[in-house]
Structure 1
Amino acid sequence: MNTREEVAPAVQSILEAAEGRTGGDQPLSVTPRSLPDALAAAETDGRVPLIAEVKPTSPTTDGERTDDPVELAEAMVDGGAAALSVLTEPEHFGGAPETLEAVREAVDVPVLRKDFILREAQLDVVEADVALLIARFVDDLEELLAAARDRGFQVLVEAHTPEEVEAAIDAGATIVGVNNRDLGRLDVDLGTFERVADSIPATARESVTLIAESGITSRDDASRMRAAGADGLLVGSAIMDGDVRTNTERLTDV
């Protein structure tokens, strides 16, 4: 449902870079760790089900983390993260496929590949447990989602509006992320998740793992998203800004 009009200049630059990136030569075959199971296990264990993000930098943050990403990832897991997200976008986020590969080898939780994947060949860059597809930027979401699943990936389809969530579910998505950040203006509103979650029909909601993304900086924010129906929370900057284990513990502590 490609709708790239009126995105912020920083996002347009990311998309242009993504258009120019090639993919792998051969389709991957992945045996994934279950993200929904990991989130449910964290909840059963009395922790907030958190996907902690290894993000060296981004267009919306200041500075850059140069720590060993594997050590950061291990600290996040030690702090209670149920799963990890690893940036592989190089030009704007300082990510790399090799980073994800090293992190996934070092931890035993599901790892999401965070990138701007626009076409099928770009799935074949690195093995991950979960691939991210952003509904707004994919030409044929159903086709690309099926291609990812054929390789064994679980798929997190990111949306921002009720219409995008509906399109994601219609395409067959069972893990849906609602981004509180508007990629048109880059502003963040936690009310986005509340409004979008409330628009999902009960029959559809039963079959979807729902993730709240962006803008979650405190335990109060985490509680607010959970109360609105989030099965998991994806948090990057609030964890990377400071001691990652302490920040992870703060957000996963019920």
Structure 2
Amino acid sequence: MGTTKQPDEGLAPAVRDLLAAASERSRGDKPVSVEARSLSGAFERAEADGRTPLIAEVKPTSPTTSGERDVDPVAAAESMVAGGASAISVLTEPDHFGGSVEALQAVREAVSVPVLRKDFLLREAQLDAVAADAVLLIARFLDDLEGMIEAARDRGMTPLVETHTRDEIETALAAGAEVIGVNNRDLATLTVDRSTVDRLAPAVPDSATLVAESGIETAAHRDRMRKAGADGMLVGSAIMDGDIEANTRRLVAR
């Protein structure tokens, strides 16, 4: 279950390196079982409170940024929650993003909101490395997406299925995805095109939750994603660079 697709020659070299490293990464010893905090419930509470639903990301570094941010992940997450974030995303990819499962564990113990694990997960057993409330699954990289969605749910996790094309959205929906991420960043080139969400949002039915990803830096970007139909957003660099609580508050404010 959760087999990977054949190597995609259209991917940027940095992404191919990520996948090569991910294919070798360790797995958990036994299946985890999570009493998960509800991501959809967190979004609903934000809407009721007059906040924009936001998954704020603890992101030490990435292939598209220079240098590494010297920040305590727990302190960063607590600042994000104080700023109104509905949920926290924690990178657990160690080689290219500076993340770790230990950071996610510490964050989840420190905050009361849902915590999303963001990584390049390729096999079912890799879900067992750490307990999380939600987990990112990238449609482009998985042949058995339906199996990975089922495996995540069996463990109590909400799968957030990332897409970048209409075909990937259709594949995700056919596999049973209920939370669809549309990434403005093209993994073939690592470039960002904010019109991606504009174009693809109509393909996501109202019955699913649409999360806009990448390139959301300002209130104007937030408003554009919301106007296109995004129910929530996932934001990393624009929050991590500077005053984390203030940056979060700026993006969740209506």
Task: Deviation per CA, 1:173-222: give whole Å up to 9, x if none.
Answer: 0011000000000110110011011233xxxx122011000000000000
**TM-score for both structures, normalised by structure 2:** 0.96
- The 3-state SS of whatever aligns with 2:172 is helix
Deviation at 1:37, TM superposition (A): 1.0
Q: 2:154 aligns to what?
A: 150
CA distance in 2, matches of 1:172, 1:69: 32
Work out the number of aligned pairs and report it: 250
Q: Which runs of 5+ in 1 are unaligned?
A: none
CA distance in 1, matches of 2:44, 2:194: 23
CA distance in 1, matches of 2:79, 2:10: 38
Deviation at 1:43, TM superposition (A): 1.3
Task: Deviation per CA, 1:33-88: give whole Å up to 9, x if none.
Answer: 01011011111101111100000000001221122110010000000101010000
Q: 1:125 aligns to what?
A: 129
Q: 1:213 aligns to what?
A: 213
Task: Deviation per CA, 1:138-193: give whole Å up to 9, x if none.
Answer: 12101111111111111000000010011001000001100000000011011001
Quote the sequence identity (%): 62
1:248 paired to 2:251: no
Deviation at 1:2, TM superposition (A): 3.0
Contact 1:128 1:153 in 2 (8 A): yes
Aligned with residue 87 of structure 2, among 66, 83, 86: 83
Aligned with residue 40 of structure 1, among 33, 40, 44: 44
Matches within 5 A, 1:59-208: 59-200=63-204, 205-208=205-208
Contact 2:31 2:128 in 1 (8 A): yes
Contact 1:2 1:135 in 2 (8 A): no
Task: Deviation per CA, 1:115-159: give whole Å up to 9, x if none.
Answer: 000001100000000011000001210111111111111100000
Contact 1:118 1:138 in 2 (8 A): yes
Q: Which runs of 5+ in 2 are unaligned?
A: none
Deviation at 1:5, TM superposition (A): 2.9
Q: 1:236 aligns to what?
A: 236
Q: Which runs of structure 1 show a deviation greater than 6 angstroms over 4 or more consecutive aligned residues?
A: none
**TM-score for both structures, normalised by structure 1:** 0.96
Contact 2:169 2:203 in 1 (8 A): no
Give the alignment's Cα RMSD to 1 decimal.
1.0
